[in-house]
Amino acid sequence: MLGYALRRLALTVPVLFGISVIVFLVISLIPGDPATAILGAFATPDNVERIRRELGLDQPLPLQYVTWLSGVLEGDLGRSYSLNRPVVDEVLDRFGPTLILAGAALFLCSVFGLVAGVVSAVRQYGWADKVITVAVLVGISTPSFFLGIMLILWFSVGLGWFPTGGMYALFGDGSIRELLWHLTLPATALAVVATGVVARLTRANMLEVLRQDYVRTARAKGLREGRVIFRHAFLNALVNIVPIIGIQAGFVLGGAVYIESVFQWPGIGRMLVTAISTRDILLVQGGVLVVAASFVLINLVTDLIQVALDPRLRRG
């Protein structure tokens, strides 16, 4: 298992490398002169000259990449011209709030998705299954940005139960309680689609697993249904569900862009939207790189959980 973990960890290196290449190549997608495009409104001849030098734009592309990558490895993601500060500082400041929001949503979607999916499969064709199926269908069809607006409209504007946005109260004490109070609506809005997906795939996997011969064997042994379903069926279904939750982490991290905009959450998503509209390409690049890297780590973790569950995956 440890050997597998180390090998798997080593495998993330080429993935991270690939990600850095794609993120880097984004700049080459820019039509026209990248330097002017990167600087946009801040394009004084001085600045243009400086960024040319920094990115080595007069050099061939592979060399530019090497220059850029060595900067990245030293923690230098360039300078944000719209904010006039190093990209890495801004990104790190914004990373925490995004992790809190995405983590909360991921937690919600795993718990509710798994429970709903298992109930739905075990009670197939029963009323609980029907209710869950309909709820899931609406859930996965909901635009999260629209749902966010509706939640604000009902729970903040209408009922006044939750704040309309932000991460802490303006003059609050910054306590955990306050954070949770602010987190409830955005995390819910962000989790809804992912919960639907997890529930649906959990149901499908449970149904598949319940048809397997070993479940019949467990029943033939006289085991009680509870044990048949949890120890024999659910455990096997979980092997396939864990990577699905990993994929949801990607959707949640991406969806955070909308939710942070709607709820004025001070995370990377909102930073990215602003950065794109001010054409602050280096800031976009830095933000995407960091979030993508953290997603790679999440997938590493789900992979390891999957392997811990399933001994068959430990070979090779």
Partner 1 sequence: MAATTEQRAEPLPPRGSTAWGRLKRNSLAVVGLAIVVVIVALALAAPILPLADPNITEPADRLMPPFSEGAWLGTDQLGRDMLSRLVWGARVSIAVGVAATLVAALIGSTIGLIAAYFGRITDNVLMRGVDMLMAFPYLLLALAIVAALGPGLINALLAIAVVNIPFFARSVRGATLGLVNREFIEAARLSGFSDTRIILSELLPNVLPVIVITMSTTVGWMILETAGLSFLGLGAQPPQADLGSMLGDGRGLVMTAPHVSVVPGVLILILVIGINLLGDGLRDVLDPRLKSGALSRPVARTEVAPGPPSGSGDKGALLEVTGLETEFRVGRRVLKAVNGVDFTLQPGESLGIVGESGSGKSVTAMSILGLVPTPPGIISKGAIRFQGTDLLRLPLRDLQDIRGNRISYIFQDPLTTLNPLLRVGDQVEETLIRHQGLSSRAAMAQAVELLNAVGLPDPRTKARAFPHELSGGQRQRVVIAMALANRPDLIIADEPTTALDVTTQARVLDLLNDLRRQTGAALIFITHDLGVVSELCERVLVMYAGRVVESGPVDAVFNQPRHPYTAALLACVPVLGEPDRSLAAIPGLPPAVDDLPRGCAFADRCPLVLPDCRAREILLARSGEGRRSRCIRWQEVGHG
Applying CB under 8 A, among 48, 292, 304, 305 the residue interacting with partner 1 is: 292
Q: Are 24 and 36 in contact (CB under 8 A)?
A: no
Q: How far is the CB of 42 from partner 1 (least distance, A)?
A: 16
Site string for partner 1, 259-288 (x = CB under 8 A): --xx---------xx-xxx-x-x--xx--x
Could you tell me the end-to-end alpha-carbon distance of the chain, in angstroms, rounded to an integer? 11
User: Applying CB under 8 A, which part among 47-55, 71-79, 88-96, 292-300 lies near partner 1?
Assistant: 292-300
| Cβ neighbour number for residue 78 with a 10 Å cutoff | 20
Size of the residue set binding partner 1 (CB under 8 A): 85
Choose between 187 and 272: whose C-beta lies nearer to partner 1: 272
Q: State the Cα–Cα distance between residues 198 and 110, nearest whole angstrom.
A: 7
Q: How far is the CB of 107 from partner 1 (least distance, A)?
A: 17
Pick the closest to residue 34 from 14, 56, 65 (CA basis): 56
Q: How far is the CB of 9 from partner 1 (least distance, A)?
A: 15
Binding to partner 1 (CB under 8 A): which residues in 7-66?
14-15, 18-19, 21-23, 26-27, 29-31
Q: For Cα atoms 12, 14, 16, give the angle at the middle one, nearest 5 degrees.
A: 65
Q: State the Cα–Cα distance between residues 159 and 146, nearest whole angstrom.
A: 18
Binding to partner 1 (CB under 8 A): which residues in 172-231?
204, 206-208, 210-225, 228, 231
Evaluated on CA atoms 36, 42, 46, 49, the torsion sign reads negative
Q: State the Cα–Cα distance between residues 102 and 129, nearest whole angstrom.
A: 28
Choose between 85 and 221: whose C-beta lies nearer to partner 1: 221
Applying CB under 8 A, among 251, 266, 303, 306 the residue interacting with partner 1 is: 251
Applying CB under 8 A, among 82, 236, 240, 306 the residue interacting with partner 1 is: 236
Applying CB under 8 A, among 149, 179, 304, 305 the residue interacting with partner 1 is: 149
In the block, tokens 């609050």 appear at 172
Q: State the Cα–Cα distance between residues 2 and 307, nearest whole angstrom.
A: 11
User: Applying CB under 8 A, which part among 85-93, 138-146, 165-173, 181-189 lies near partner 1?
Assistant: 138-146
Could you tell me which residues come within 8 angstroms of residue 255 by beta carbon, excluding any fewer than 6 positions away? 105, 144, 190, 193, 194
Applying CB under 8 A, among 163, 165, 255, 266 the residue interacting with partner 1 is: 255
